């Protein structure tokens, strides 16, 4: 639920960013907010996965896939996901999600 403001901002911002083809890579910038942190002071591992959903949403919006899905009553399903954590993200740190 705490991603609702990021989702609203993503929908708004995607209208002004460059259009993409479905096979292009969407680069979506983010920043680590205090609500993303766990007890150790870095981004929670579950939050990484939620932020990746926003990266996929950005690709679908900018490539024009999202309106087609909505029009047909379809929704994207992620069948599986594997993640390896290489380094932590600290408060207020900027980062990018690259989605293909």
pLDDT of residue 95: 96
pLDDT of residue 39: 93
pLDDT of residue 81: 87
Contacts of 23 (CB under 8 A, 6+ apart): 100
- Rounded to whole angstroms, how far apart are CA atoms 29 and 39? 24
pLDDT string in tens for the chain (100-residue length)? 578 999 999 999 998 999 999 899 999 999 999 999 999 999 999 999 999 999 999 999 999 999 899 999 998 888 988 899 899 999 999 999 999 8
Domains of the chain: 4-14+23-99 (3.10.129.10)
């Amino acid at each position: 639920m705490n991603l609702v403001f990021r989702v609203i901002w993503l929908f708004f911002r995607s209208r002004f960013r460059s259009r993409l083809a479905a096979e292009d890579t969407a680069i979506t910038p983010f920043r680590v907010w205090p609500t993303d942190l766990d007890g150790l002071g870095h981004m929670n591992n579950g939050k990484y996965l939620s932020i990746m959903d926003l990266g996929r949403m950005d690709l679908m919006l900018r490539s024009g896939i999202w309106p087609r899905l909505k029009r047909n009553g379809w929704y994207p399903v992620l069948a599986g996901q594997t993640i390896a954590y290489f380094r932590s993200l600290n408060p207020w740190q900027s980062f990018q999600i690259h989605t293909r």
